[in-house]
A and B are shown apart, each in its own frame.
Chain A
Amino acid sequence: MGPAVHALGLSLVLFAIGSLAVLLRRDVAARLIGLAVMGQAAALAFAAFDLLPGALSVAEAAQESAAAPQSGSGQVFAFFAFALLAAELAIGWALVVAALRRAAAGERASMARSRS
């Protein structure tokens, strides 16, 4: 078996770890880290599929251009996966900051109420 199969196995393991973290952990930070791991697993799978000789692409396209498979398109999709992951993490951590700020404000308000 070639390197693509090893990479796909690693991608599966990473995706399983990330999805288990997202589904089972209760911390928001751990869930975001799990999402990051899942995104990296997806990018690795795209790069690994790029190594396969067109076996998992559309059958007609493979028949028409078996000699020149679309080498590199998997890496383009991995690039897109990285960019989407960055956007998703930016929003996620901004939500965490906003929630922390809101919790701190609520705590301050309850302390002020208890003093008065």
Chain B
Amino acid sequence: MSAPFAVFDFLALLVALGALAAVVQRDPVRAVLALLATSSGLAGCFVLLGAEALAALQWLISGASMSVLLLFALLSPAGGVAGLRERDSARLARATAALALLAGLVLALFRVLPVLPASHAAAESAGTQRALGSALLSGFGLPLQLLGLLLLAAVLAALLLVRERGRG
């Protein structure tokens, strides 16, 4: 096994353990910190895959969102977020669906992996900001504009949702 593969596998292990810790933890602060470790490891994976622009995006988005999440977890009253539990008692059905989904994914992995061709090295500068920006603006102009509209709508909707009633 070559060195980049070993580094990638180490980062993959870190990412998987971080994700597992993030979803298992009951303390919101620890969960957010585990998610931050996951995002950091994933940014390293993107760098090893030759997608430096995506790694930078991952850092920017995860850094911003994780700091907001951390603030939220620190400021929320004890048991506040954890106290928001759904009242659905049909956990057996959900567990069955989860196990079926997991089994399907594992089966799909074992069906797909043998037929995948050997990867070629990413073209030089394919993952840089310049390449990503030119690809976005040349071939994906309309989806990019629609994405901007969607993000604007999401921000406005979030502001409307958290606005206190009666204070305008």
Contact = CB atoms under 8 A, between A and B. Distances in A.
Contacts of B98: 19-20, 23-24
Contact of A97 (B46, B91, B119, B161): B161
A100 interface: yes
Contacts, number: 225
Which of A7, A17, A88, A100 has most chain B Cβ within 10 Å? A17
B122 interface: yes
A59 to B, nearest CB: 13
Interface of B: 4-5, 8-9, 12, 15-16, 19-20, 22-23, 26, 28, 31-32, 35, 38-39, 42, 45-46, 48-51, 53-54, 57-58, 61, 65, 68-69, 72-73, 76, 80-86, 88, 91, 94-95, 97-98, 101-102, 105-106, 108-109, 112-113, 116-120, 122-123, 126-127, 131-132, 135-136, 139-140, 143, 147, 150-151, 153-155, 157-159, 161-162, 164
Interface of A: 1-10, 12-21, 23-30, 33-34, 36-37, 40, 43-44, 47-48, 50-53, 55, 71-73, 75-76, 78-80, 82-91, 93-101, 103
